[in-house]
Amino acid sequence: EPLGAQYREGASPFPGVRAFDVVFLGLDGTPVHARLLLPTAQPGGKLPCVLRFHGSSGSRGTVADHAAWLLSGTAVLAMDYRMQGGQTGSNTGFTGGPVYDEFVFGVAEPTSFYFYHVITDALRLIELALAHAEIDPRRLAVEGASQGGGTSLTLAALHPAVSLCLADMPSFCDMERRLFYRTGGARAVAELITRRPEMLETVCATFSYFDNLNHAASIRCLV
């Protein structure tokens, strides 16, 4: 599916850094909001780029939130997850709710699960980076904590263009254990199973597609 990317340059607080608001299309046509920050490249050179993924209920952040990477001469792409603290909505028909309810959305089927759309949005963000004339496709990193760390590990396993993965306290690891111990977002799913115990096997099957225990062996980049 075409990315349909649109770029709008905005103000930057840092000399030598251009800031762009970006909108691209998810697989279901959802407009996904992102931020592209480009420090000045060396003459004739292309920029390394880090794709940054936020924790639950967060957002792509301000330009200043990415200052450390920009000062190192690294471009930044940061994406708003669907229906969290940023501008990205969803065309999937999901409704809003408490912060962790995204673990319940569509959990009966892997391709309808909330995190299926998150991961496919993130994979398309990589394609956006690879298509950009000023970004070096050989130097792509993924980085994030918690939800963002889990996403980073998954991308490192699924996309060969990722050359460095910086995952801090990653989520999506041993998800069945999280379900039974009701940790973080899995608490909402545990409450669903308490009401509908016949869904346990279905939920665990869906979780298995997104559990980084099952993806880890495919990671070939530096971590």
Tens of pLDDT, residue by residue over 112-136, are: 999 999 999 999 999 999 999 999 9
Average pLDDT over residues 159-165: 98
Structural contact between residues 169 and 145, judged by C-beta atoms closer than 8 angstroms: yes
Bridge partner residues of 77 (DSSP): 36, 51
Q: Residue 95 — pLDDT band, cuts 50, 70, 90?
A: low
As a whole number of angstroms, the distance between CA 28 and CA 219 comes to 27
- pLDDT tens digit string along 64-87? 999 999 999 999 999 999 999 999
Do residues 136 and 46 touch, judged by C-beta distance below 8 A? yes
Tell me the residue type at 128: L
pLDDT at 99 over 50: no
- Both structure tokens of 36: 């592209």
